[in-house]
Structure 1
Amino acid sequence: MALIYTGIQRTVAVLDERSTALEAAQLMTERFIGSVVVTGAARVTGIFTERDLVKRVIAAGRDPSGVRLRDVMRQDPVRVGPRESVGRCLDLMKEHRCRHLLVFDGEECVGIVSLRDLVALMLEEKEQLIQQLTRYITG
């Protein structure tokens, strides 16, 4: 699975729901990411994030090496289509109090978008607008 974002192709981190929270934390640390897509029986079953690690594992006093993702993941994560607007994604994140959305094209998970991705995209769009306005003003 990959999400094309501003010309960069990134592979989405995926772990089986029988994997441990420790394995997820190690993968997220290794890739400098904040979430992993969780699968089971060849389909997406949830998402596990840094926030889930802190709240559902560490703060609960559980041993990350003994906790299975299926027991601490967020089931039925918020989904968007590949052509969803930045504004709508931000609204969904606010409404559902989350920082990651799974991107589905029909029944296939094709990527993930984070709040960081959306902020970077908005900044890029603003920079392009500034350049266009500067060219217009300076002729």
Structure 2
Amino acid sequence: MKAVSELLKKHDGTLWHVTPAMTVFEAVEQLARLEVGALLVMDGDRLAGVFSERDYTRKITLLGRNSRETLVSEIMTANVITVNATTRTRECMSLMSARKIRHLPVVEGERVLGMISIRDIMDDIISDHEHTIASLESYIQS
């Protein structure tokens, strides 16, 4: 399994994010436009939280709140679980499963490097398994 830094290379250094002062409606528009399930919430260069579809459904829709009047800061997940660039994907998978989360911001000290998703982890696992199978098939045929 790879280090998280390898997975981040596929993201080209892009930090898709919203700000705490944006409305939830604006943040949901951003999710839809980017076709992602979560965004970093950045206050300048500082990670303030994560905003996800789950936050929207549980804290806006189910509570009958108005997304055009509610700010991201009011419903975002502020106590964010993070990993660093050297964290291995297997450890990320275990962490995501245990904490029932689908996205992990990657940080080095105070600097945000990006965010990985459960899809990134699954793609890595599949790739790793395909490589193992190909190696075994090559060994058997030799």
- TM-score by length of structure 2 reads 0.89
Residue matched to 2:23: 20
Q: State the aligned residue count.
A: 137
1:4 & 1:30 partners in 2: Cα distance? Answer: 25
2:106 matched residue in structure 1: 103
CA distance in 2, matches of 1:42, 1:125: 34
Q: Secondary structure at the match of 2:86?
A: coil
Cα contact 2:8–2:114 (8 A) shared by 1: no
Offset at 1:49?
Answer: 0.6
Task: State which of 38, 45, 70 in structure 2 corresponds to 1:35.
Answer: 38
Regions of 4+ moved over 2 Å? 3-10
On the 8 A contact 2:45/2:111 being kept in 1, the answer is no
Counterpart code for 2:42: T
Unpaired runs of 5+ residues, structure 1, are none
Q: 1:12 to 1:133 in 2, by over 3 A?
A: same
- Distance in 2, Cα, partners of 1:41 & 1:122: 34
**Post-superposition offset of 1:41:** 4.8
Matched, 1:89 2:88: no
Q: 1:9 aligns with which of 3, 8, 11?
A: 11
* SS of residue in 2 equivalent to 1:103: strand
Structure 1 residues 16 and 91, CA gap change in structure 2 (3 angstroms): same
**By percentage of residues, which structure has more strand?**
1
TM-score, normalised to structure 1's length? 0.90
Q: Superposition RMSD on alpha carbons, in Å?
A: 1.6
Select 1:76's aligned residue among 54, 74, 79: 79
Q: Distance in 2 between matches of 1:20 and 1:28?
A: 13
Which consecutive unaligned segments of at least 5 residues does structure 2 have?
Answer: none
State the SS of the aligned residue for 2:60. Answer: helix
**For the residues of structure 2 that align with 1:84 and 1:110, how far apart are their CA atoms?**
13
